[in-house]
Structure 1
């Protein structure tokens, strides 16, 4: 196993930034972190040239990039998406599906297995995230209405039996059978998340009691305060901000949420309860002005403008075109968040949410050698996944 020393870097640790430090890697593991430079015989040296050395970014909700979407159902798509996002600092990701028929989901699960075995030069796959099809019709956004339905125990048990790599499932908890699904997911060790939902506070409380612990892309595709017969009811947005039991994820591209809402979420929840996500679709990392959300042959046509994907009639956003570095920049530059906290939200917190914090999410002895080097403008200079430098020089 090769020894690698990263020297002359500003090392972002869980608690502080070492102004001039070094990180020593052996194989795919971090073996030590130092103040100042160190010399290791027979080690390959990477000079960070005064740039920041950060734990690799972890994107727990991503659909595509580089002209590909996971719903394309091909190994090539999986590999190209992983490579594209690694270019921008993502070292681990959770590939995410869209609402579809059962057969399509089962096919994607089979493709995931093969892609995982061949993924040598991209962000590591942490498992599959099923987004839908059990959603509120009113809050579906760009999700295809013809596939939206109530949870069916026969269907979801079959899907879960087909793969042990489903690590997350996003559901509208007010749908008939959704509470039972949440409890089932919890028992199976699968993260149950609240998404595309019209639930009110009382229904969210029930959902949490039945195993739901994460709010999917906060503010997007979910209810806020509503009135019935003159009375106000808190929606999922307010419930997510209020309840300590719920982690939240936000699409911090500066478009889905403007600066005041980014600041509000940060002020209320704090960096250890927020995961930054790209929710990126296939146009991420490209210059495309038109694209397809979902499967390249059967998906929804979208337009790209104002730094975001939109439905052609501009009635709703249709996913982001962000990469992880943009999220960190946005939180620092628009939301006035410290770089340390922005990195926590892009690495440490998502690692905890996905249950991999014992090996990922921070620069510390014994953790996976997943690192990203970026400059003062948060432009990625180098990405290292499992000790292998897959981008940069």
Structure 2
């Protein structure tokens, strides 16, 4: 039996800190979490050196990183992106597609399937998130308008036949046929999320009643309060706050949403209903300069500067280049959120949202030993996935 003992660390649980705690791992599974220094025979000892020891970060919305995008539809792209995010503390990811041709989706599905068994050093590939193509043209953001369309049953039935790995899907509920599509997808066990939507509050409430339970990148590419026939009506943003059970995700890079609004989301929705996501593109973990959003063959030219990707005309953002450590750093820093809650929003909360909290998301006996060690600046020192150290800062 392979045993690992992590000692001398400040262990972060969902609700508190255990100073100088100890974690024992046996065969990739956590067997003990305690504030005591317990002896363990024949164990490899990892000295956390007084740093924080937290559950591995879970990113349920990422398009890539390290120069690779999941729409490149190659095993190499999947593995490179997964390894890149592991260096920044992410132990599980939900690779996300973009609005594209169906053939592009099919190829990406196949690359995901092949990559799962070959992924040895990267964040675990949990499942696929389809972002589009059933979106509002008015709120398309950086989604390619050529491929935005209404859902047809024969189309989405075929897409589901191509892959058993689809676990979430983002769509705009006001689009004709989307609520029927939502009910179909929910029967498949898929998390349905409102995104790139111009819906008013009444339609959001109806969508929630029909199975939509999550909001894709709150504040980005969605409606807010507006006038109709001279009267003000709520949009997706206000509805996300009004519906208590609705969970939300935020791109907490400090640019897509400023610190004061990040704090507002935290105060209204709380850490148990708020998920931190990178929504990262291929430029995550890379330098500034020109890049491509989407596949190299058919993607959109963008420019990375000031810590974010922008459209060539600089009139709108075109994707995030954030990594998970940056999200935690922003929330625990400028946004003024307690570190324990910031970590909670990128560990146990996303695990619950996508239904893997029985085995991931917190440091507890019986769960996968997905662990990240970082210092007070949220600088990642070590990333461990199922008991295996996949990254250690030199």
Q: Shorter-chain TM-score category?
A: over 0.9
1:214 alignment partner, SS class: strand
**Alignment match, 1:166:** 166
Give the TM-score, by structure 1 length: 0.99
Contact 2:288 2:305 in 1 (8 A): no
C-alpha distance in structure 2 between counterparts of 1:298 and 1:15, whole Å: 45
C-alpha distance in structure 1 between counterparts of 2:339 and 2:36, whole Å: 21
Contact 1:208 1:245 in 2 (8 A): no
1:272 alignment partner, SS class: coil
C-alpha distance in structure 2 between counterparts of 1:11 and 1:209, whole Å: 39
Q: Note the residue ranges of structure 2 that are not aligned, 5 or more in a row.
A: none
1:368 alignment partner, SS class: coil
Deviates more, 1:53-62 or 1:294-303: 294-303
C-alpha distance in structure 1 between counterparts of 2:319 and 2:235, whole Å: 22
**Alignment match, 2:210:** 210
Contact 2:14 2:341 in 1 (8 A): no
**Alignment match, 1:365:** 365
**Alignment match, 1:154:** 154
Q: Note the residue ranges of structure 1 that are not aligned, 5 or more in a row.
A: none
Contact 2:3 2:25 in 1 (8 A): yes
**Alignment match, 1:65:** 65
**Shift, 1:15, TM fit:** 2.0
C-alpha distance in structure 2 between counterparts of 1:292 and 1:39, whole Å: 52
C-alpha distance in structure 1 between counterparts of 2:299 and 2:107, whole Å: 16
**Alignment match, 1:79:** 79
**Alignment match, 1:182:** 182
Render the CA deviation track for 1:335-364: whole Å, top value 9, x for unaligned: 110000000001010000000000100000
C-alpha distance in structure 2 between counterparts of 1:152 and 1:78, whole Å: 29
C-alpha distance in structure 2 between counterparts of 1:242 and 1:267, whole Å: 13
**Alignment match, 2:383:** 383
C-alpha RMSD over aligned residues: 0.8
**Alignment match, 1:197:** 197
1:295 alignment partner, SS class: coil
**Shift, 1:13, TM fit:** 1.2
2:138 alignment partner, SS class: coil
C-alpha distance in structure 2 between counterparts of 1:287 and 1:335, whole Å: 25
Render the CA deviation track for 1:300-343: whole Å, top value 9, x for unaligned: 01011111000010121111100000000000111110000000
2:61 alignment partner, SS class: strand
**Alignment match, 1:126:** 126
1:302 alignment partner, SS class: strand
Render the CA deviation track for 1:21-48: whole Å, top value 9, x for unaligned: 1100011100001113222111100000
**Alignment match, 1:104:** 104
**Alignment match, 1:305:** 305
1:138 alignment partner, SS class: helix
Contact 2:15 2:341 in 1 (8 A): no
Contact 2:60 2:350 in 1 (8 A): yes
Contact 1:274 1:345 in 2 (8 A): yes
Give the TM-score, by structure 2 length: 0.99
1:114 alignment partner, SS class: helix
Contact 1:8 1:36 in 2 (8 A): no
**Shift, 1:288, TM fit:** 3.2
C-alpha distance in structure 2 between counterparts of 1:83 and 1:155, whole Å: 33
Render the CA deviation track for 1:124-180: whole Å, top value 9, x for unaligned: 011000000000001001100000000111000111122111000000000010000
2:137 alignment partner, SS class: coil
